[in-house]
């Protein structure tokens, strides 16, 4: 199966694997978030993406993009943007609701790191949505 995939498809699968390997443990196995963990996650995804994309570029000969590739990329970015915008509206609404009814103490020292993690989680979900949408578009005919 991997031999009949285009360069762009291989790149998308590698991105999805890298995102799940780096972001999964950060969000699901963390005890206490810290700036060091956030920085480590960012460095980890950058290094892993560079390695994976370099290997894919080295072994793939045909890297030409056509109109179909551009359309699939556009659809993926649209799905990612709509996901991100929806999560932002939902998150801001929940923040407003909890602060209005008094269940959220904004004086907490860790609130900044909490918001950073939530915002980063929204970005990760939107990016995974974008990548998965593009992979699905390649697997089925437009």
Per-residue pLDDT tens over the stretch 45-97: 999 999 999 999 998 887 788 899 899 999 999 999 999 999 999 988 887 77
Question: Taking the model in full, what pTM does it have?
Answer: 0.82
Report which of residues 2 and 57 the model is more confident about: 57
Q: Provide the pLDDT for residue 89.
A: 93
Q: Provide the pLDDT for residue 142.
A: 57
Q: Provide the pLDDT for residue 30.
A: 66
Q: What is the Cα–Cα distance from 114 to 33, expressed in whole angstroms? A: 8
Q: What is the mean pLDDT of the chain?
A: 85
Q: Provide the pLDDT for residue 19.
A: 92
Q: Provide the pLDDT for residue 121.
A: 87
Q: What is the Cα–Cα distance from 89 to 96, expressed in whole angstroms? A: 10
For residue 134, how far is the Cα from the chain centroid? 13
Evaluate if residue 141 carries a pLDDT over 80.
no
Q: pLDDT band at 113, cuts 50/70/90?
A: confident
Three-state SS across 15-60? HHHHHHHHHHHHHHCCCCCCHHHHHHHHHHHHHHHHHHHHHHHHHC
């Amino acid at each position: 199966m991997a031999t009949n995939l285009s360069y762009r498809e291989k790149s998308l699968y590698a991105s999805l694997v890298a995102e799940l390997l780096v972001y999964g443990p950060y969000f699901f196995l963390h005890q206490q978030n810290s700036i060091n963990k956030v920085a480590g996650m960012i460095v980890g995804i950058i290094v892993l993406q560079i390695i994976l994309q370099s290997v894919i570029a080295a072994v793939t000969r045909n890297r030409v993009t056509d109109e179909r590739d551009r359309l699939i990329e556009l659809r993926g970015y649209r799905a990612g943007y709509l996901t991100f915008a929806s999560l932002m509206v939902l998150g801001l609404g929940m923040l407003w609701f909890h602060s209005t009814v008094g269940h959220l103490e904004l004086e907490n020292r860790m609130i900044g790191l909490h918001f950073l993690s939530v915002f980063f989680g929204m970005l990760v979900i939107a990016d995974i949505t974008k990548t998965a949408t593009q992979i699905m578009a390649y697997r089925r005919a437009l």
